[in-house]
Structure 1
Amino acid sequence: MAHTPAPEAIATAGRQLAELGLSRGSAGNISVREGETIYMSPTGAVLGDLDPGDLAVLDVDGAHRAGPRPSKEYPLHRALYRRDPEIRAVVHLHSRDAAAVSCLPPWSPRSAIPPITPYFVMRVGQTPLIPYAPPGDARQADDIEALDFPFRAVLLQNHGPVTAGTTMAGAVDAAIELEEASAILLSIGDRRPVLLPAEAVDELTRAYGSPWSR
């Protein structure tokens, strides 16, 4: 299969997320890492209209190398790249249901959302809630880097989701599945859901390599 250049992958992902209604207006940002270079959607960009030739280009330390100014949320992306050298793409959205769940108390210290469906466990894994800070505040990136357990997605308190993947498709799939799990959780409301048993969670994480720990 031919390799899709990072700028084209970002533009394609932006269109997909916008078409699904997960990015409205100029909300959200996307990045891809290739070696020591990170390509990122510019500040204020509409994800559905991204131009592959007009992306911000940075190095892994955050220095701006070319193109327009990157999103102010760049530290969140860098934190996930630093945590896991296998990560190649990061998606940050303000999608409605995941943002709503980010306004609720977390299910546990390690995941804002419980193991509500096998697909959430398989495609996303445990998703910690990161304490609130103003958008662009590097404290949230510091909080992400400081956590001592595995994950590839977070919810920013009163803000929205950030997902990461070893491919752009994986990061996008995780964002979609996180939104779906959030919608299911909200639809259950105050009723107590039946969660996946621990043995099923263990089986899924072994089979799919998704992060979940007790």
Structure 2
Amino acid sequence: MTPESALREQICLLAKSLFDRGLTGGSTGNISARTPDGGLLVSPTGTSFGRLDPCRLSRFDARRQLIDGDQPTKEMPLHTAFYETRSTAGAVVHLHSCHSVALSMMPDANPDNFLPPLTPYAIMKLGKVKLLPFFLPGDPAMGDAVRGLAGKRTAVMLANHGPVVAGADVEAACNAIEELEDTARLAMLTRGLSPRMLSSEDVQRVVTKFNVEWDT
């Protein structure tokens, strides 16, 4: 199996795992990953994470020209914005996960640091998550908003829509977006219960210990 074939299989396997556990439903969500030659493999438009075909993934060359496969997701501007601003990004995942979307609707959601410091793990895997305003699905302005962050964030939350996470590879991106959803779920479950959160000193210790990118 070639490296690209293995990557195709991995994308579909991880996407199906996300779908099977209810992290994105129907034909929602999209996923992409860099290929060894600098191109991209991208989930096609209108496809389900539960039924992606490795042979039909959209294939882009290093100049971002579609050279094979089906038409890509309409959220390509979102994906390319991460690749253009974060040289370390090897994959990008976007879900419509329920609890993170619910948290984005709360009137007290923090636009600069979306996830409350409930556990160290979201801090370790995501750094600060930027809450972006609502955009129409497929709007290129989402990509412009990501570019406006100048590569300082690995993850954003699209209000009333869903999270987007860039990772070093497709497995890292999937693990991080799952942590985002888990933390949002904890936040919603404990909402109004005055949970004990990590102190600012605790957060700083995590950032220092695990060399987290922590945009201040």
Regarding TM over 0.5, the answer is yes
SS at match of 1:53: helix
CA distance in 2, matches of 1:99, 1:59: 33
Report the alpha carbon displacement of residue 61 of structure 1 after superposing the two structures with TM. Answer: 5.2
Q: Which amino acid aligns with 2:11?
A: I
Q: What's 2:148 paired with?
A: 146
Instruction: Give runs of aligned pairs for residues 129-144 of structure 1, distance below 5 A.
Output: 129-144=131-146
Q: Is 1:48 aligned with 2:50?
A: yes
Q: Which amino acid aligns with 2:32?
A: S
% same residue: 36
Q: What's 1:80 paired with?
A: 82
Q: What's 1:26 paired with?
A: 27
Where in structure 1 are there 5+ consecutive unaligned residues?
none
Change (3 A) 1:113 1:106: farther
SS at match of 1:135: coil
Instruction: Give runs of aligned pairs for residues 53-202 of structure 1, distance below 5 A.
Output: 53-59=55-61, 62-105=64-107, 107-148=109-150, 150-202=152-204
CA distance in 1, matches of 2:120, 2:208: 13
Where in structure 2 are there 5+ consecutive unaligned residues?
none
Moved more, 202-211 or 20-29: 202-211
Structure 1 segments, 4+ long, off by >3 Å, are: 59-62, 105-109
CA distance in 1, matches of 2:58, 2:76: 10
Q: Which amino acid aligns with 1:18?
A: F
Report the alpha carbon displacement of residue 108 of structure 1 after superposing the two structures with TM. Answer: 3.3
CA distance in 1, matches of 2:85, 2:192: 35
SS at match of 2:164: strand
Task: Please tell me whether the aligned partners of residues 60 and 78 of structure 1 are also in contact (alpha carbons under 8 angstroms).
Answer: no
Q: Deviations over 1:33-85 (max 9, x none)?
A: 12420100000111111111110012455432211000001111111111211
CA distance in 2, matches of 1:175, 1:128: 13
Q: Which amino acid aligns with 2:69?
A: G
Q: Which amino acid aligns with 1:76?
A: L
Residue of structure 2 aligned with 1:38, choices 29, 37, 40: 40
Change (3 A) 1:109 1:46: closer
CA distance in 2, matches of 1:144, 1:44: 23
SS at match of 1:196: coil
Q: Which amino acid aligns with 2:7?
A: A
Change (3 A) 1:93 1:185: same
Q: Which amino acid aligns with 2:212?
A: S
Q: What is the aligned residue count?
A: 213
CA distance in 1, matches of 2:211, 2:170: 17
Change (3 A) 1:184 1:25: same
Q: Which amino acid aligns with 1:15?
A: K
Task: Please tell me whether the aligned partners of residues 88 and 165 of structure 1 are also in contact (alpha carbons under 8 angstroms).
Answer: yes
Moved more, 109-118 or 156-165: 109-118
Q: Could you state the TM-score of these two structures normalised by the residue count of structure 2?
A: 0.90
Change (3 A) 1:52 1:180: same
CA distance in 2, matches of 1:195, 1:78: 35
SS at match of 2:141: helix
Task: Kindly report the root-mean-square deviation, in angstroms, between the aligned alpha carbons of the 2 structures.
Answer: 2.0
Q: Could you state the TM-score of these two structures normalised by the residue count of structure 1?
A: 0.91
SS at match of 2:55: coil
